[in-house]
Amino acid sequence: MTSHAFEVVVVGAGPAGIAAACTVADAGRPVALVDNSPWLGGQIWRGEEANPVQRAARQWLKRAAAARVTIFREASVFTVSLPQRLLVETPAGAVELGWQRLVIATGARERFVPFPGWTLPGVVGPGGLQALVKAGWPIAGKRVVVAGSGPLLLAVADGLKHRGAHIRLIAEQAPSSRVLQFGFALGRHPAKLAQGLRLKARLLGVPYRCGCWPVRASGDEAARQVTLTDGRRTWTETCDYLACAFGLAPNLELPRLLGCRLADGFVQVNEFQETSVKDVFCAGEPTGIAGADAALVAGCIAGFAAIGNPGQARALFGARARWQRFGRALRDAFAMRPELRRLAEAETVVCRCEDVRRGELERHDNWRAAKLHTRCGMGNCQGRVCGDAANFLFGWTNDSVRPPLLPVRVTSLLSPVADVNQNPTPPAGNQP
């Protein structure tokens, strides 16, 4: 196993991670950027380096490519060997990265709510379908229903329509009153308002219904129809794909493994983006869902703080506060309605990896008991999908994270410093 030492290691190459790494590199400090994808930009900027509309994305991706940053692509952090040491699996084998300061910018994933038929082929997350199409998946002429919640629905529908898909319906579960209120709030963010208006203009003629959500997907071998409701009536739309997710959930596995304190489902940080663990910073969606612009500002603050430059970090506090207000408006507008908790029936699969159904989970009182008796959360995704679903359905929280954080090769687990049988003991930290 090879070992490398850096002043700052940044985990996650989305907007927050890129901003943090570039900030550190611009100061001439040794910095590494680790991401499990072969590209920079995370899911949100995937393929945007050639998109003339995404000027900010192109500028940051160009800046990251030119910066003096050691980049580990297709690299997954799977455990912590010692305090201030990460073990990372790369295509060439396991690598140990030493750090004096760590910036966690692991982003978020789509949140799924189980309903009958949601495991059928053809039912995918909007972001997942968008990623497939960007990679070359044929979508032209296909009938697509886009459903769930959040502004991502419009962006995905626009991208699919541009590539020839027939968008049958965009179904937003949030009521129209809250969506309109969010639209008015965009007046404080002219660039976001203009972006939204452009999306609506390009989607002219595509039905967009608020207060509407899927209750069932059906088909013999794949989804061919989706049944929807607005709470008063129910109807069916034919489709080739149902792209459905209900917002985003933060990726918290690494901060939880390190012992970072959480609050309301997010990593708790102080004004300099430092967590409860000393010299560990966090930025982007793990600290709150607020979009790429908020992540960029938080990433810069974390980068400045990590190199001991509080003055330049403070200069960005005002911009961060504005984007935090945007994030709160986003959360309030697209909060999930309680009716969604009743969609899953007793026979509806909740844990896809281990084929565990809602009826089996209802016999238990908490995540730990359900996991012990049903293996829920013990499959390949390690609870990343069913854990969020169980939290929404039952209010359960996943009270433990154990390494390896992701599936890795046996040779990586057999590395001399890889001890995945014990959780690391985090150093005593500051109190945000």
Q: Could you write out the DSSP letters of every residue in 315-347?
A: TTHHHHHHHHHHHHHHHHHTPPPGGGGGSS-TT
pLDDT band at 55 (very low <50, low <70, confident <90, very high): confident
Q: Quick check: 63 pLDDT over 50?
A: yes
H or E stretch at 218: strand 213-218
Q: Quick check: 239 pLDDT over 50?
A: yes
Tokens 């002043």 locate to 7
Task: Measure the CA dihedral 168/173/177/179, to 10°.
Answer: -70
Residues 296 and 23 sit within 8 Å (Cβ to Cβ): no
Rounded CA-CA distance 302/309 in Å is 10
Q: What is the pLDDT of residue 47?
A: 66
Q: What is the pLDDT of residue 113?
A: 97
Tokens 């896809």 locate to 352
Task: Report the alpha-carbon angle 375-377-381, nearest 5.
Answer: 130
Tell me the residue ranges of DSSP E strands in 234-297: 234-238, 241-246, 248-250, 262-263, 266-267, 280-282
Helices (H), 27-108: 55-66
DSSP string, 134-170: HTT---TT-EEEEEEESTHHHHHHHHHHHTT-EEEEE
Residues 287 and 110 sit within 8 Å (Cβ to Cβ): no
Q: What is the pLDDT of residue 126?
A: 96
Q: What is the pLDDT of residue 204?
A: 95
Task: Report the alpha-carbon angle 244-323-289, nearest 5.
Answer: 30
Domains and CATH numbers, the chain: 2-109+249-330 (3.50.50.60), 125-246 (3.50.50.60), 340-394 (no CATH)
Give the mean model confidence (pLDDT) for residues 251-259: 95
Rounded CA-CA distance 423/421 in Å is 7
Q: What is the pLDDT of residue 418?
A: 61
What percentage of the chain reaches a pLDDT higher than 70?
A: 94
Reported as a single tens digit per residue, the pLDDT across 323-356 is: 999 999 999 999 999 999 999 999 999 999 999 9
Which residue would you say has higher pLDDT here, 177 or 402? 177
Sorted by sequence, the CB contacts under 8 Å of residue 212 that are 6+ apart come out as 147, 169, 171, 172, 173, 228, 229, 230
Rounded CA-CA distance 63/46 in Å is 16
Per-residue buried b or exposed e for 272-301, using 16+ beta carbons within 10 Å of the residue's own CB = bbbbbbebbbbbbbbbbbbbbbbbbbbbbb
Specify the 3-state DSSP secondary structure of 282: strand
Residues 11 and 106 sit within 8 Å (Cβ to Cβ): yes
Give the mean model confidence (pLDDT) for residues 306-323: 97
Alpha-carbon distance values, 107 to 12, 251, 254, 352, 357 (Å): 7, 6, 11, 23, 28
Q: What is the pLDDT of residue 48?
A: 59
Rounded CA-CA distance 143/191 in Å is 31
Instruction: Note the Cα 403 to chain centre separation in Å.
Output: 20
Rounded CA-CA distance 189/269 in Å is 25
pLDDT band at 415 (very low <50, low <70, confident <90, very high): confident
Low-confidence winner among 59-68, 164-173, 255-264 (lowest mean pLDDT): 59-68
pTM, whole model, 2 decimals? 0.92
Task: Report the alpha-carbon angle 249-409-377, nearest 5.
Answer: 35
Q: What is the mean pLDDT of the chain?
A: 92
Rounded CA-CA distance 292/56 in Å is 10
Alpha-carbon distance values, 80 to 21, 122, 257, 365 (Å): 21, 37, 8, 31
Reported as a single tens digit per residue, the pLDDT across 203-233 is: 999 999 999 999 999 999 999 999 999 999 9
